[in-house]
Every structure is written in structure tokens, then in C-alpha cells.
Amino acid sequence: MKILEMTGNATARVIDAAPPAPAPGEVIIETARSAICGSEMKTYRGKGIASSNSGHEAVGTVVELGDGVTNLAPGQRIGASAVVGCGHCAECAVGRFTWCRSAKSWSRMHAERFVIPARACSRLPDDLPWDEATLLTGDGMGVPWHTAKKIDRPDIETIVVMGLGPIGLGNVLMQAHLGRRVIGVDIVDYRVHFAARLGADVPIKADETLIERIMDLTDGEGADVVIDCAGKRASVANSFASVRRGGIVVFNGESMEELLAPSRDFNRREIWAVGCWYYFMSEVPEMFDLWRSGLDVTKIITHRFPLDDAPEAFKLFDQGQTGKVLLRP
């Protein structure tokens, strides 16, 4: 079968590999779509992965069952969670794989087939198209929904989305759908314009006047919530500078740097900070409901490529000139 190999230093190629075989409890999925995620860029630009890739958002059809799989059958359409818990602890029992102490990440999904534990598969409604399903069962829209649930207070009106990569754009689409006033901020023109098309009421290209402009838009108080989707020193600083007293800063962006000071950032203005990672398996049916209620997640897709052209797709995505990019074997 064909699989994308990330060869490192921002290069990739499609190679031939033996099809995966299922261990007990696992299933083989014939891939219908996989999506490129911003979190893959570190691997793509860095060392790559020999004979493999970091693809972790995919949907497809069950074609083979490992021993002991009783909840799925060949021919069924599924979406996969790439974070998979042990399956028998208290967190897994309520669909919170990300809180399982033995959770593992699965990838290799930019391929004609991939293997995944059966418990990580969500059956897709028959009328849900593949493109929509890719976003609804993956972190592309899963993270924005998981985030939305943490900031569902009715008094929250204005939300700043700081950083408009695919997760930031997903937050714009989600929060606009939920009726919030959205201010979308990035340093890349393409993304700022795209955010406006997804429902950002005020798209802003960040410069030295950013905080002043957000204060002007919020009667000098600051936004009720700021979602940092960049994880950069500047975006984190700007997030705290543009949130109101008693407001909420949500972290979607990843960073291992020490960026915060309690007195400056939290105490004196009584700021709430919320960490947010991936989504819960238990939230996938809620995603289907959102789609039925009119959330058009395909708006966030800007490019579709055959798997053969995945190297080109990654190059384009890496330049920041795309929304969500889908691959099709």
C-alpha cells in the first residue's frame, strides 16, 4: 500500500509499504480522507519519521478485525480518535481517553490503510459525508468544540482568537456559530482574511497597535475570553494583555517555555486560565449534532489533494497559505 514518509527537513515522499495487520482489539481501516494538522509541522520540518508519518486525523471503512473485536464489522464507516486510552480505567469508561494515565497517540494515517484500536473508532452516521466526518471526528473541530464547552457561560460575549492556524480558524468558525462576537488575530494576511470568511466580526492583522485596538473594541475593558492558539511568547503575552479583569485565557497553543508570572498575569486582575488538549471520545456524538444544527465545517477546508500529491500539500500547508488540507488515497 501507499504511505507518506516524512523524510525530514520539510520534505516528504510517497512510498510503498506492507499493509498493517491488526493485533487483538485492533482494526484495519481503508482510509477515505486524512487531514493535515498544524501539530505535524514540528516533525515535518525536523527529523521526519522513517517509513511513516504523523497523520492522526482520518476517516475510512473497516476492512479487517483483530481478535476479540466485537463492536465493529467490515464495511462500517468510522472516524478515529488518535489519542487512545487503556479502555478499562474510570476515565476511559466515560470516554475521556485524554485523561487516561496509559493513553497513547496513534498516527501513520496518511496512508491507504491504517491500524487503530477498535475502541478509538466512532461509527459515522450514514448521511455524513467523508470531508465533514474528517473534521468532526478529528482534532480539527474537536479541539474547538472541547474549548467551547469550557467557556459556555452565557455572559461571555466577545472572544479573541489569537493565532489563526487551522485550530484558530476552527475556533473562529465554532464561536461565530455559537453567536459570539469574534475578534481574530494573526500576523499572516491570508489567515486574517480567511477568518473573516469564517465569521470573525473583526479580523486584525497583529502589529504594535493590537492591544489598543482590542481595548477600543471592548470599551477599554478587554475581551471576555482570549483563546491562544499560537503558543508563542508574543501571543501568550498579548492574550493576557487583551483579556478583561476576571476574564478567561484558554490555551490551545503548545509551548514548553515558561512564559507566565502569577502576579503580573493572574492575581491582580483575577484572571482564569484554562488548559485544553484534544477532545473527549464522548464528545464526538455532540459534534455530529453540531453539524446537524447547521455548523458547516467544510468552510475551513481550502485544499484537497490525492495522497500521491501529499508532499506538495505539506509544502503548501507549511507556508501558512491554507486552511485545512485534506488528503484522499
Give 216 or 254: the residue with its C-beta nearer to Zn ion: 254
Q: Which helix (H) or strand (E) holds 177?
A: helix 166-177
Q: Does 85 bind Zn ion (CB under 5 A)?
A: yes
Q: Does 139 bind Zn ion (CB under 5 A)?
A: yes
Give 248 or 313: the residue with its C-beta nearer to Zn ion: 313
Helices 166-177, 139-150: inter-axial angle, 10-degree rounding: 50
Rg (CA), the chain: 20
Give 136 or 248: the residue with its C-beta nearer to Zn ion: 136
Interface of this chain with Zn ion, residues 266 to 295, rule: CB under 5 A: none
Give 135 or 248: the residue with its C-beta nearer to Zn ion: 135
DSSP 95: T
The site that binds Zn ion (CB under 5 A) totals a number of residues, namely 8
DSSP 268-314: GGT-EEEE--S--GGGHHHHHHHHHTT--GGGGEEEEEEGGGHHHHH
Binding mask 44-83 for Zn ion (x = CB under 5 A): ----------------------------------------
Query: HSE on the CB side for 145, CA within 13 Å?
Result: 23
Alpha carbon 168 to chain centroid distance? 9
Q: Does 117 bind Zn ion (CB under 5 A)?
A: no
> In one letter, which amino acid is 173?
L
Q: Which of 39, 76, 98, 255 binds Zn ion (CB under 5 A)?
A: 39
Q: Does 133 bind Zn ion (CB under 5 A)?
A: no
**From 59-67, 90-98, 146-154, 207-215, span contacting Zn ion (CB under 5 A):** 90-98
Q: Do the Cβ atoms of 59 and 81 come closer than 8 Å?
A: no
Q: Does 89 bind Zn ion (CB under 5 A)?
A: yes
- What phi, psi does 63 have (nearest 5°)? -120, -15
Nearest approach, Cβ of residue 272 and Zn ion (Å): 25
Q: Which of 35, 92, 121, 141 binds Zn ion (CB under 5 A)?
A: 92
* Backbone CA torsion sign across 86, 89, 95, 96: negative
> In one letter, which amino acid is 170?
G
Q: Does 178 bind Zn ion (CB under 5 A)?
A: no
Give 139 or 186: the residue with its C-beta nearer to Zn ion: 139
Q: Which of 3, 37, 169, 229 binds Zn ion (CB under 5 A)?
A: 37
Q: Does 35 bind Zn ion (CB under 5 A)?
A: no
Q: Do the Cβ atoms of 82 and 139 come closer than 8 Å?
A: yes
Q: Does 136 bind Zn ion (CB under 5 A)?
A: no
Give 117 or 222: the residue with its C-beta nearer to Zn ion: 117
Q: Which of 4, 49, 100, 115 binds Zn ion (CB under 5 A)?
A: 100
Give 107 or 239: the residue with its C-beta nearer to Zn ion: 107
| List of residues 6+ apart from 198 with CB closer than 8 A | 169, 172, 173, 176, 299, 300
Q: Do the Cβ atoms of 72 and 62 come closer than 8 Å?
A: yes
Task: List the beta bridge partners of residue 59.
Answer: 33, 79
Q: Does 86 bind Zn ion (CB under 5 A)?
A: yes
Q: Does 237 bind Zn ion (CB under 5 A)?
A: no
**Which residues form the interface with Zn ion (CB under 5 A)?**
37, 39, 85-86, 89, 92, 100, 139
